[in-house]
């Protein structure tokens, strides 16, 4: 069994609740060291860790993502969806620089729902890779060959298509970070299956 993994789950105003909480909860069950980092909106005062998610749920991040946040601290960085949250991820030069540095080192990057279409595609992360995203946004993907799938794994990139696939997406993250046995163990504890 691999040692505990460190994971950054990014959130921003407008992130999707089901996805964010499924990712966080599943990875915590896998015994990953999860930190929730807030991506600030343009012009927003740094230091405010409260986030208003897409359906009005409020969440408090562990820390704010600033230009001092280092990608070396994490084995994975994960982006939930939600159009508002994904747009905030896209617009943050600090955050895009962080995930680019992380991804270029071959580390795991996960994105679900709107984030593949709003963040990864326009910033060039999907070049030469298969991916999926929220079905209504799939026309934004340059490579739509696997856009109909719920979860797509392409080397160190895992994408998911929306809230309904959030658990499967999260378990795929667990498998990549640890192994299939760990993902199945976590699935059983959540009264679901993972193949």
Residues with catalytic function: 113
Paired residues of 159 in beta bridges: 111, 152
Nearest C-alpha neighbor of 116 from the set 93, 75, 146: 146
Residues 6+ apart with CB under 8 A from 83: 14, 54, 114, 118
In whole angstroms, give the CA distance from residue 51 to residue 40.
9
d(CA 12, CA 191): 29
Give every CB contact of residue 40 below 8 A, 6+ residues apart in sequence: 12, 46, 64, 65, 88, 92
Q: Are 54 and 17 in contact (CB under 8 A)?
A: yes
């Amino acid at each position: 069994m691999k040692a505990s993994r460190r994971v950054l789950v990014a959130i921003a105003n407008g992130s999707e609740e089901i996805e964010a909480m499924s990712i966080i909860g599943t990875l915590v069950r896998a015994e990953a060291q999860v930190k929730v980092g807030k991506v600030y909106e343009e012009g927003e005062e740094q230091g405010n860790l409260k986030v208003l998610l897409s359906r009005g749920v409020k969440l408090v991040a562990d820390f704010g993502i600033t230009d001092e946040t280092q990608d070396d601290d994490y084995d994975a960085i994960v982006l939930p969806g939600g159009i508002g949250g994904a747009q905030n991820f896209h617009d943050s030069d600090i955050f895009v620089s962080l995930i680019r540095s992380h991804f270029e080192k071959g580390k795991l990057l996960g994105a679900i729902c709107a984030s593949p279409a709003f963040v990864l595609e326009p910033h060039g992360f999907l070049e030469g890779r298969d991916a999926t995203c929220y079905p209504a946004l799939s026309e934004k993907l340059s490579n739509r060959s696997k856009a109909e799938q719920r979860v797509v794994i392409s080397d160190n990139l895992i994408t998911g298509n929306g809230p309904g696939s959030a658990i499967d997406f999260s378990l795929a993250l667990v498998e990549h970070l640890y192994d299939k046995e760990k993902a199945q163990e976590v699935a059983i504890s959540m009264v679901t299956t993972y193949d």
